């Protein structure tokens, strides 16, 4: 059982965001939606307060906390993928409808949540005990926005 659950703060978009995230990933589901039981400082009776959801085996809670706080790239979620096709599918979905790609595989999605979509081989490449391989891998990584499996492997191997 997961002991720590990330809470994601939204201003009225918690349910939309949770529904979006469970569709982005192959294994996702809404677990429970909680509604305000009475009018309160952040919502009216019947409005969505929180949404518990799971993606790829990890639980999250989205909360409609109001306008006081915004999501920031200071907290992001790393998605390690096993193929270029998997990377392309997740990348294209997160960029669609207003997502913003950034350097080194980062994307801020349309709700403001930041993700890093990376090949599962990347961390091994940039931490290779051979300093030349690690350096070539790091240079290749730093030159990319969306990662290219073949180009990263080629840089690592020195081809």
- pLDDT tens digit sequence for 99-139: 999 999 999 999 999 999 999 999 999 999 999 999 999 99
Q: Please check whether residues 97 and 46 belong to one and the same domain.
A: no
Q: For residue 17, give its domain range.
A: 1-67
Least confident of 48-52, 93-97, 116-120: 93-97
Q: Please check whether residues 51 and 121 belong to one and the same domain.
A: no
pLDDT averaged over the chain? Answer: 95
| Domain limit, last residue, from 23, 45, 67 | 67
Contacts of 110 (CB under 8 A, 6+ apart): 20, 96, 97, 98, 99
Domain count, the chain: 2
Q: Please check whether residues 93 and 157 belong to one and the same domain.
A: yes
Please report, for the domain that includes residue 147, its CATH number. Answer: 3.10.180.10
List, as one string, the DSSP characters of the chain: --S---EEEESS-HHHHHHHHHHHSSSEEEEEEEE-SS-BTTB-TTSEEEEEEEETTEEEEEEE--TT----TTSEEEEEESSHHHHHHHHHHHHGGG-EE-GGGEEE-TTS-EEEEEETTHHHHHT-SSHHHHHHHHHHHHT-SS--HHHHHHHHHT-
CB-based contact 137:125 (threshold 8 Å): yes
């Amino acid at each position: 059982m997961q002991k720590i659950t990330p809470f994601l703060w939204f201003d009225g978009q918690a349910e939309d965001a949770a529904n979006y995230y469970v569709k982005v990933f192959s294994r996702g589901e809404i677990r429970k939606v909680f509604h305000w039981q009475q009018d309160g400082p952040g919502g009216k009776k019947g409005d969505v307060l929180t949404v518990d959801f799971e993606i790829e085996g990890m639980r999250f809670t989205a909360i409609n906390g109001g306008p006081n706080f915004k999501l920031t790239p200071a907290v992001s979620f790393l998605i390690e993928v096993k193929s270029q096709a998997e990377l392309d599918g997740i990348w294209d979905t997160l960029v669609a409808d207003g997502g913003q790609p950034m350097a080194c595989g980062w994307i801020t999605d349309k709700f403001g949540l930041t993700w890093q979509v990376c090949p599962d081989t990347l961390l091994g490449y940039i931490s290779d005990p051979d300093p030349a391989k690690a350096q070539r891998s790091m240079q290749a990584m730093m030159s990319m926005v969306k990662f290219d499996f073949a180009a990263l492997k080629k840089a690592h191997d020195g081809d």
